[in-house]
Amino acid sequence: MKISKWFQDLKEKQPYWSDTIIFNTCITGKSLLRTEISKAFKLLVDKSEYDKSDLDDIIAHSQSLALLKR
């Protein structure tokens, strides 16, 4: 998964950033599928950084940062 590589590379460069910030920085302006973003978010971002009830809104915001493919 390409998002995972971007995420890990940026996490090494910015160890004090939150996973959510790293994730959103990695996907901003990239051409990605909605499902790809959702799956990667759930896999990469530490669950302690968000409340489960907010997950759909957070993923929707992340998707809004990317250039979505159809």
pLDDT score for 1: 80
Q: Where are the domains of the chain?
A: 2-68
pLDDT in tens, 11-51: 999 999 999 999 999 999 999 999 999 999 999 999 999 99
Whether residue 7 has pLDDT greater than 90:
yes
Dihedral pair phi/psi, residue 32, rounded to 5°: -140, 160
- Helix boundaries (H) for 1-70: 2-13, 19-27, 34-44, 55-65
**67: amino acid identity, one letter:** L
Question: What tokens appear for 2 in the block?
Answer: 């390409």
